[in-house]
Every structure is written in structure tokens, then in C-alpha cells.
């Protein structure tokens, strides 16, 4: 595991999945590879208008396994009461790791969100939706950061 990055947070929509209930290329394999290398995996996602966790999960791929993500590192805006790109949701994510912001990485297709994560001291990586970024993510993180 890369000693600098300990926790990796992902946005959901257009970063890992897209409607209707479809994984983006390489997403599922990237999560498995990163988890196998000992990284703590989390989610930071806007879920406004979704009443509860079941409603959120019903929009995700059928084989989406929420247990891949560390429970304390799953931040849905409808549950925590703060939406991205407000820095408070990123601060909550860092606090949940009980580590330093600089040891957290946020991955999203949204450049504003990646900048918001940086504003609280997190590292961030923009994932281009539909590219091979997720396929190369494991190698990039373990060799470059």
C-alpha cells in the first residue's frame, strides 16, 4: 500500500456508476484491487431527494456491494445533511478516517468537487467518465502518489 494515501473516497454518479444501474468500465475491478492492497475505501455522494439508504442502493447496479466500502467512510449527502461541493462534507470524510486530510484521496468526474476536496487538504483525482481512467487507477495510485 502507498504510505501516503490511506483512504480513497469515490463519488458515485458518473465516476463509478451511471444510470440505469450500470458500472462504468473498470470501476468494479478498481475497487477490488485497491481494497485488496489495503486501502480504506469510501464514498462521498450527493443523494438529495432520496429518502433512505434503501432508496440510494436501489439506483445502483444489482451487484453493487456496499460492504466493499468501509461503513464509517460512506457519506451520502441525504444522511449527513451537507452536499458537495460544500467543504463540510469533505471535512466529515477526513474526520471519519481519524487521519490527516493529506492521506485522503477523492476521485470524481467533477472538477469543482475535486477542487473542494483540495481546499480541505485532501488530494484529488479527476476521473474522465467513460475513459480508461478507472482501469489504470490502481497502478497510478500505487506507483505515483
- Report the CATH number that the domain containing residue 56 is assigned in CATH: 3.40.50.1000
C-alpha cell at 140: 497510478
Q: What is the mean pLDDT of residues 86-96?
A: 98
Total domain count, the chain: 1
The answer, yes or no, to whether residue 24 has pLDDT greater than 60, is: yes
Helix residue ranges per DSSP H, 19-132: 27-36, 53-57, 77-80, 87-97, 111-119
pLDDT tens profile 28-63 = 999 999 999 999 999 999 999 999 999 999 999 999
Assess if residue 1 is contained within a domain: no
Assess if residue 41 is contained within a domain: yes
DSSP state of 103: G
Instruction: Report helix angle 27-36 to 133-144, nearest 10.
Output: 20
Assess if residue 145 is contained within a domain: no
Assess if residue 94 is contained within a domain: yes
Q: What percent of the chain has pLDDT over 90?
A: 87
The answer, yes or no, to whether residue 105 has pLDDT greater than 60, is: yes
Cβ contacts of residue 55 below 8 Å, gap of 6+?
none
The H or E element spanning position 139 is helix 133-144
Q: Where are the beta strands (DSSP E) in 98-139?
A: 104-108, 123-126
Mean pLDDT of the chain: 94
Tell me the pLDDT band of 3, cut-offs 50, 70 and 90: low
Q: What is the mean pLDDT of residues 88-110?
A: 97
Please, are residues 41 and 133 in contact by the beta-carbon 8 Å criterion? no
Q: What is the pLDDT of residue 142?
A: 77
Assess if residue 77 is contained within a domain: yes
pTM over 0.85: yes
Q: Rounded to an integer, what distance in angstroms lies between the CA atom of residue 140 and that of residue 131?
A: 14
Q: Which domain holds residue 19?
A: 7-131
Amino acid at each position: 500500500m502507498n504510505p501516503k494515501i490511506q483512504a480513497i473516497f469515490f463519488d458515485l454518479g458518473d465516476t463509478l456508476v451511471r444510470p440505469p444501474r450500470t458500472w462504468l468500465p473498470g470501476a468494479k475491478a478498481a475497487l477490488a484491487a485497491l481494497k485488496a492492497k489495503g486501502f480504506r475505501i469510501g464514498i462521498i455522494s450527493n443523494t438529495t431527494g432520496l429518502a433512505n439508504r434503501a432508496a440510494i442502493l436501489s439506483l445502483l447496479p444489482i451487484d453493487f456491494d456496499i460492504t466493499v466500502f468501509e461503513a464509517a467512510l460512506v457519506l451520502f449527502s441525504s444522511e449527513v445533511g451537507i452536499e458537495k461541493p460544500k467543504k463540510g462534507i469533505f471535512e466529515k470524510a477526513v474526520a471519519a478516517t481519524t487521519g490527516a486530510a493529506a492521506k485522503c484521496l477523492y476521485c470524481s468526474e467533477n472538477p469543482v468537487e475535486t477542487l473542494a476536496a483540495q481546499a480541505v487538504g485532501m488530494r484529488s483525482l479527476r476521473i474522465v467518465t467513460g475513459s480508461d481512467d478507472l482501469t489504470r487507477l490502481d497502478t497510478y495510485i500505487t506507483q505515483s502518489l
